[in-house]
Amino acid sequence: MANKDSFDAFVSIIRDKINELSEHTDQSRIQVFQNELKEKFDELAKSQGYVSSKEYDALENLAARLEERITKLENQLKK
């Protein structure tokens, strides 16, 4: 799906949910909509190549640890 199509689909989902929210003000229902929107947005973002900040931090931490291991191995090879 093209970027514009993905964005348009997401906007359409948000419009539908906002319309439903305006009809119903039950707090538990609002929480359900919030969770649904978050899931849909996360899926859209991932399909466009983005990751969450939590996933980014985990990958950054892993990269730093791998760099340390490579540096240690390189130093051992020099000896």
Q: Do 15 and 36 lie in a common domain? A: yes
Q: How far apart, in whole angstroms, are the C-alpha atoms of residue 13 and residue 37?
A: 8
- 35: containing domain: 1-48
pLDDT at 74: 92
The most confident of 38-42, 46-50, 72-76, by mean pLDDT: 72-76
Identify which has the larger pLDDT, 64 or 30.
64
Please name the helix (run of DSSP H) or strand (run of DSSP E) that holds residue 39, with its range, or none: helix 27-47
Q: Do 77 and 63 lie in a common domain? A: yes
Q: Residue 19: pLDDT above 90?
A: no
Q: Do 32 and 2 lie in a common domain? A: yes
Q: Do 12 and 29 lie in a common domain? A: yes
Judge if pTM exceeds 0.75: no
